Amino acid sequence: HCAELGNPVPKEPVLFLKPTTSYLPEGKGPTRGPPGCTDLHHEIELGVVISGGGTNIPQESAMDHVGGYVLALDMTARDYQNIAKEKGIPWTWAKCFDTACPISEFVPKEKVSDPQDLNMWLKVNGEVRQKTNTNDMIFTVPYIISYISKMMTLEPGDLILTGTPMGVAGVQPNDQLEAEIEGVVAMKFTVGDKL
């Protein structure tokens, strides 16, 4: 979704960390913006679950380190992110708050024949907001795994979000979010008040 935010398409993936405390499994309550947030956005993303850790993983064998997938939302406080970009500081307030990472149930690798050919969509209150096929991803799953592992050892259980398509937009308390990887997994979340 770089184009719609006026960002250049990056030559390399832009990496940031979300803490495990930001996980929100389906059924565990609403997703909520951080204190003071006035512009909470949804970003639907394919999540890749690492089963075999490693450092300097070659692209060629990267898929051997994948145990499966989740459908994930990279919930983002766009107001805090814009402030952070302007100041040149990390995106922590924008990306790392409790409930910032709603996730579906785990999908074992065997259920996905090609992770770069999945139809995904996100609806807000029944209206499609984001719709994509993962063949549109800027960087492939093996590329991202290899890229991260050059700098940071990957461990079993790590979850990598792989970027979002166009259509990111603000949500309000009580909005109903519904997302699906077609034929693979679906999930529903409600938006709550800010933390």
Question: Which of residues 54 and 177 has its CB atom nearest to Mg ion in the complex?
Answer: 177
**Which of Mg ion, a copy of itself, none does residue 180 bind to, with CB < 5 to 8 Å depending on kind?**
none
Strand (E) or helix (H) holding 78: helix 78-87
Question: Which of residues 54 and 69 has its CB atom nearest to Mg ion in the complex?
Answer: 69
Give the residue, chosen from 3, 9, 113, 150, that forms a contact with a copy of itself under the rule CB under 8 A: 150
C-beta of 41: minimal distance to a copy of itself in Å? 17
What does the block give as tokens for 92?
Answer: 């922590």
- The total number of residues shown for the chain amounts to 195
Q: Which stretch binds a copy of itself (CB under 8 A): 18-26, 63-71, 118-126, 134-142?
A: 18-26
Residue whose entry in the numeric block shows the structure tokens 């994948």: 66
Q: How far apart are CA 195 and CA 192, in angstroms?
A: 8
DSSP line for 118-150: -EEEEEETTEEEEEEEGGG-SS-HHHHHHHHHT
**Which of a copy of itself, Mg ion, none does residue 128 bind to, with CB < 5 to 8 Å depending on kind?**
none
C-beta of 41: minimal distance to Mg ion in Å? 9
Q: Which stretch binds Mg ion (CB under 5 A): 73-81, 84-92, 114-122, 173-181?
A: 73-81
**Which of Mg ion, a copy of itself, none does residue 34 bind to, with CB < 5 to 8 Å depending on kind?**
a copy of itself
What does the block give as tokens for 69?
Answer: 């997938």
Q: Which stretch binds a copy of itself (CB under 8 A): 17-25, 41-49, 114-122, 176-184?
A: 17-25
Closest CA to 95 of 82, 86, 113: 82
C-beta of 186: minimal distance to a copy of itself in Å? 27
Neighbours of 37 (CB within 10 A): 20
Cβ atoms of 191 and 30 closer than 8 Å: yes
C-beta of 123: minimal distance to a copy of itself in Å? 28
Site track for Mg ion across 154-183, x = CB under 5 A: ---------xx-------------------
State phi, psi for 124 to the nearest 5 degrees.
Answer: -115, 120
Q: How far is CA 62 from the centre of its chain?
A: 19
What is the CA angle 62-65-66, rounded to 5?
A: 100
The residues that touch a copy of itself, with contacts defined as CB under 8 A, are 14-17, 19, 21-22, 34-35, 55, 84-86, 88-93, 96-98, 150-153, 155, 195
